[in-house]
């Protein structure tokens, strides 16, 4: 059968891509056999995870050779993220495994001494082949797209790949990297169109409807002409000439801060799955006499997620907050929530709660990797690990500061990449009069004195939704998790949660300084100014809120407008 094919090797969330393609009115068939590749009229390769595992899968499934042939035939191809990287010669991520070598150049690790790595969030592109060529591919220069990667191909002016392949570049901190390539009918993006809101859907549309291909005829003819000219100038030499309309992009970092909407989900007393919200983690209504009432019901998960996508949320996080109780692998409600959400929401989705080794009621054991895999296949882009991360950090220190390769963090990061592993931290402040009162913990001076005039505090990690404190501080936790391979920290605060008094800036600053991976500040947002404060004062990459959005007390639009007016870069609300 001919048509559009998807090259999936089972490594991650391709559901959103399939949903986006279907929403655009196109059918898509999964490649099941190497011979399917050459049958395709159009082929999409959404590489997910690590470069090495992607290449290994291509070889094991015997896809590599037909894929090379398909590319040599210059048939319409769209590579996404690792799907683009595999076309290069190799990657720092797995130096021993070569890439397909279709494009000259190597994929390199970002420098994390000057910025958070992974590069995770929304950033713009600049065309070096002129705006028209970018437009043919559905790209709008200056519009933000969603990136998530630790490795990228540096843009080197005058290099063979720059002259022959590079369509756009993107600036991240002090580094300019290749964000899309195009030659003939081959078009690849480092960003994820299927996660880039309507801007990304336009890119997919252009590919499916032949925008890139339309301009590609001229492109291929022009290239052939260049190569001919070149050969006549220097016979036999392999060198390239730049297209005449090459524009060298100005370097400008337009990486934006992210606003994350968070949905704490659980079953209420009637057994319905609802979005709830606690104050300091207590999600039940309080009656006047102090008695505990029903679980607060602030809406339905799928509907609320869609509302936040439409209002401009840059990411959506679902936390299954009672998963520590009983969490069989077939936790159908959350899988169903993800499946349905990914039909209409085209920004990254994170799922947390219960990412750990589980035993089903029938006694069957499922490792955390399998649990996470189930969530990725059903529409999650990242999983967030709470309690299990605390246990993994404790083990890390008991082994003298190393992992043994078995933790959920290590196994999931290895298979799906660090960027897919978020650590959700639930810390609680413990006040002390002097640092000597907490000799084994990292002590800081909070903004306000403790209830008994204490000048210092440390932040104790908790498990099981804050029900149990452990002998581990937040700095110990986040540093251990980073070492084990986590890609991002979601930093809650049990003290600030639901209080609308602003984020705990001292805690957030301390964590931001302790790790190189991105940090999402969470808990306590009560006004747009609180977002301004957290970005201006701590330098975190993202800020999350729940209660004020659910209750429509502060619209997401107001938060973005206020940040923009203060000169903080944010993604414009999509249309
Ligand atoms: O331990 O891996 O099963 O994960 C459980 C997950 O559930 C953890 O991510 C943990 O944070 C979360 N969780 C457990 N119990 C609760 C609870 O509230 N009773 N929710 C809970 C944590 C905190 C935030 C909240 C922000 C922003 N919720 O995510 O959304 O504080 O709120 P605000 O803007 O209204 O202040 P595991």
pLDDT of 243 reads 38
Atom of ligand 1 nearest to the CA of 493: 31
Tens of pLDDT, residues 35-75 = 999 999 999 999 778 899 899 999 999 999 999 999 999 99
What is the phi-psi region of residue 133: left when phi exceeds 0, alpha when psi lies from -120 to 50, beta otherwise? alpha
DSSP state for residue 194 in the 8-state scheme: G
Residues 6+ apart with CB under 8 A from 556: 259, 261, 308, 311, 312, 313, 549
CA–CA distance, 413 with 378 (Å, rounded to integer): 18
Residue 79 in marked binding region: no
353 lines ligand 1 (CB under 6 A): yes
Looking at residues 276-299, what average pLDDT do you find?
88
Q: Is 192 a catalytic residue?
A: yes
389 lines ligand 1 (CB under 6 A): no
Check whether 291 has a pLDDT greater than 90. no
Higher pLDDT, 25 or 287: 25
19 lines ligand 1 (CB under 6 A): no
Q: Cα of 281 to ligand 1 centre, how many Å?
A: 7
Instruction: Please provide the average confidence, as pLDDT, over all residues in the chain.
Output: 90
pLDDT of 378 reads 92
Tens of pLDDT, residues 10-35 = 777 899 899 999 999 999 999 999 99
Question: Where residue 404 falls among pLDDT bands split at 50, 70, 90?
Answer: very high
Alpha-carbon separation of residue 470 from 286, 358, 462, 477 (angstroms):
28, 22, 6, 11
- In the chain, the domains with their CATH numbers are 4-233 (3.40.50.880), 258-565 (3.20.20.70)
Q: Cα of 334 to ligand 1 centre, how many Å?
A: 15
Alpha-carbon separation of residue 342 from 349, 379, 405 (angstroms):
8, 6, 31
Tens of pLDDT, residues 481-523 = 999 999 999 999 999 999 999 999 999 999 999 999 999 999 9
Residue 354 in marked binding region: yes
> Do residues 337 and 284 make contact, with C-beta atoms less than 8 angstroms apart?
no
549 lines ligand 1 (CB under 6 A): no
353, two tokens: 């709660």
Atom of ligand 1 nearest to the CA of 525: 34
495 lines ligand 1 (CB under 6 A): no
- Residue 423's φ and ψ, nearest 5 degrees, are -105, 120
Tens of pLDDT, residues 417-450 = 899 999 999 999 999 999 999 999 999 999 899 9
Alpha-carbon separation of residue 466 from 282, 288, 314, 554 (angstroms):
10, 25, 27, 27
One of 381, 426, 488, 510 is an active-site residue; which one? 426
Check whether 333 has a pLDDT greater than 90. no
524 lines ligand 1 (CB under 6 A): yes
Higher pLDDT, 100 or 268: 100
Atom of ligand 1 nearest to the CA of 356: 2
One of 36, 93, 161, 264 is an active-site residue; which one? 264
465 lines ligand 1 (CB under 6 A): yes
Q: Which residue has the tokens 């159009």?
A: 42
Q: Which residue has the CA at smallest separation from atom 14 of ligand 1?
A: 465
Burial 498-512 (b: 16+ CB within 10 A, else e): bbbebbbbbbbbbbb
Q: Which residue has the tokens 């590599």?
A: 64
Question: Where residue 129 falls among pLDDT bands split at 50, 70, 90?
Answer: confident
Question: Where residue 574 falls among pLDDT bands split at 50, 70, 90?
Answer: low
Check whether 123 has a pLDDT greater than 60. yes
CA–CA distance, 383 with 338 (Å, rounded to integer): 12
Q: Is 550 a catalytic residue?
A: no
Q: Is 282 a catalytic residue?
A: no
pLDDT of 128 reads 85
Question: Where residue 246 falls among pLDDT bands split at 50, 70, 90?
Answer: very low
Question: Where residue 130 falls among pLDDT bands split at 50, 70, 90?
Answer: confident
109, two tokens: 């690790």
Nearest C-alpha neighbor of 194 from the set 290, 71, 78: 78
Check whether 211 has a pLDDT greater than 50. yes
């Amino acid at each position: 059968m001919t048509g559009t094919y998807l090259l999936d090797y089972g490594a991650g969330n391709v559901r959103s891509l399939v949903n986006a393609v279907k929403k655009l009115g196109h059918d898509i068939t999964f490649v099941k056999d190497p011979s399917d590749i050459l049958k395709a009229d159009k082929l999409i390769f959404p590489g997910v995870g690590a470069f090495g595992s992607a290449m290994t899968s291509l070889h094991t499934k015997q896809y590599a050779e037909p894929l090379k042939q398909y590319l040599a035939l210059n048939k319409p191809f769209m590579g996404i993220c690792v799907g683009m990287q595999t076309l290069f010669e190799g990657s720092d991520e797995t130096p021993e495994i070569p890439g397909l070598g279709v494009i000259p150049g190597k994929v390199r690790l970002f420098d994390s001494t000057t910025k958070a790595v992974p590069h995770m969030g929304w950033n713009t592109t600049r065309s070096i082949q002129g705006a028209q060529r970018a437009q043919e591919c559905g790209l709008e220069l200056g519009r933000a797209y969603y990136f998530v990667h630790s490795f990228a191909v540096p843009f080197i002016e005058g290099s063979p790949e720059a002259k022959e392949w590079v369509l756009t570049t993107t600036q991240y901190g002090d580094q300019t990297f290749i964000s899309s390539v195009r030659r003939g009918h081959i078009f690849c993006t480092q960003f994820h169109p299927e996660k880039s809101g309507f801007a990304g859907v336009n890119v997919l549309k252009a590919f499916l409807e032949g925008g890139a291909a339309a301009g590609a005829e001229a492109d291929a003819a022009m290239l052939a002409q260049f190569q001919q000219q070149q050969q006549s100038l220097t016979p036999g030499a392999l060198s390239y000439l730049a297209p005449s309309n090459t524009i060298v992009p100005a370097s400008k970092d337009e990486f934006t801060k992210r606003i994350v909407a968070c949905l704490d989900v659980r079953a209420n007393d009637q057994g319905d799955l609802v979005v709830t919200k606690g104050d300091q983690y207590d999600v039940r209504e309080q009656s006047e006499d102090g008695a505990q009432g029903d679980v607060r019901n602030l809406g339905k998960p799928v509907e609320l997620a869609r509302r936040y996508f439409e209002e401009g949320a840059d990411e959506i996080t679902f936390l299954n907050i009672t998963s520590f109780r009983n969490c069989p692998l077939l936790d159908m409600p959350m899988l169903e929530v993800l499946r349905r959400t990914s039909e209409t929401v085209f920004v990254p989705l994170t799922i947390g709660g219960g990412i750990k080794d589980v035993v089903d009621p029938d006694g069957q054991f499922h490792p955390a990797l399998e649990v996470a895999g189930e969530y990725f296949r059903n529409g999650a882009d990242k999983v967030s690990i709470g309690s299990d991360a605390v246990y993994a950090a404790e083990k890390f220190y008991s082994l003298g500061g190393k992992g043994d390769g078995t933790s959920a963090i290590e196994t999931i990061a290895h298979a799906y990449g660090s960027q897919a592993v978020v650590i959700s931290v639930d810390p609680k402040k413990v006040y002390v009069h002097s640092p000597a009162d907490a000799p084994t913990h990292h002590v800081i001076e909070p903004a306000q004195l403790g209830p008994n005039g204490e000048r210092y505090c440390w932040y104790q990690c908790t498990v099981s939704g804050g029900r149990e404190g452990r002998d581990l501080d937040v700095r110990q936790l986040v540093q251990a998790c980073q070492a084990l391979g986590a890609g991002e920290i979601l930093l809650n605060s049990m003290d600030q949660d639901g209080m609308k008094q602003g984020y705990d800036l001292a805690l957030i600053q301390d964590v931001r300084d302790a790790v190189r991976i991105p940090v999402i500040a969470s808990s306590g947002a009560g006004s747009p100014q609180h977002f301004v404060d957290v970005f201006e004062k701590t330098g975190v990459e993202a800020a999350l809120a729940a209660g004020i959005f659910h209750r429509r007390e502060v619209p997401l639009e107001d938060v973005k407008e206020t940040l923009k007016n203060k000169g903080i870069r944010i993604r414009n609300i999509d249309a």
